[in-house]
Each structure stands twice: as C-alpha cells, then as structure tokens.
Amino acid sequence: MALTTEQIAEKTKALKEFIAEHKDMPGPLMPIMQYAQESFGYLSLENQLLIAESLGIPVTEVYGVATFYAQFSLQPKGDNVISVCQGTACYVKGGAAVLAEVEKELGITSNQTTADGKFTIQDTRCLGCCGLAPVMTINEDVYGKLTPAMVKDILAKY
C-alpha cells in the first residue's frame, strides 16, 4: 500500500519520537528497526539514514542488519503478505508445489510484490504448525493441508 505524503510525515514524526525514547537503552537498533518496519511496511533508505544518524552509527550497519534478518524488507510490501512455508515438514508434504502455484497465479516470485501492490510473497521457513503441512499464511489467516488446486480460490478472497 503506497503511503501518502501526509502519512509518511506522520509516521516519520512517530519514528523520531520512538527513536528518542529508545536510543539510550541497551541494544536500541533492533527494536527501532522493527518499529520502522512495522510502521512503514519496509525500511526505506531515508529511514535507515535517519536511524543511523540518530544512533551515531554508519548506515552500513543498519543496512547490514536489515539484509541479515528475513523479518526486514527493503521494498514496500503489498496489501496482503503471503508466506508459503518451505520448512522441512511442509516441503516434504508438497510445499514447493504450492509456492509454485502461488507464484504462477500472481506472476511474481518469492520476495516480490505484484504490480498493483496487492500481494507480496515472502520467503518463509517454519511457521510452527507442522501438523497442518503444507501451510501458508496470508496476513493473519492460516491455510493448512493445501494442494495447488486450492490456491486460486484462496487468493480470490483477497
């Protein structure tokens, strides 16, 4: 979802306040980055520079953390974030075929966002519900015991 100029200004103000509150606690970088990720949906270069400058660290360090952990994204995410689990249990039960079907339906690959900004597919390992394998989540919704044939109808709900 693209943010309006007003939304960005408002969120940036809130991020600055969050930084001011947390910068002197031990290990402030991760919580601040998580806040920015949550609030903006991704970590823009502007926000990485803002965080680096505020904490007195080089932006390479912020970028290094942002690219190290899968939880952070450098690109804006779509309205709906799809995670198709490729953890061991899901993989054995055919998770790869489910992911391939999602990619085919949406015309994008993992870690990409559709041109209309509606869907993002996120690289995912274990979601912690292996009994339902193969599993995918769309936002907070969980879909288990999937087959590729089920994908089209599920996507249509969003």
Give the nearer residue to other proteins in terms of CB position, either 48 or 137: 48
Nearest to 33 by CA among 61, 10, 66: 66
Q: Which is nearer to other proteins, 14 or 74 (CB)?
A: 74
Distance CA 135, CA 3 (A): 30
**Whole-angstrom distance, CA of residue 72 vs CA of residue 112:** 14
Cβ of residue 52: shortest distance to other proteins, in angstroms?
8
Three-state SS for 127? coil
Q: Output 49 or 142, the one with its CB closest to other proteins.
A: 49
Q: Report, in Å, the least distance between residue 83 CB and other proteins.
A: 19
Residues engaged in binding other proteins (CB under 8 A): 45-46, 48-49, 57-61, 63-64, 67-68, 74
Using DSSP, state whether 66 is helix, strand or coil. Answer: helix
Closest CB 67 distance from other proteins, rounded Å: 4
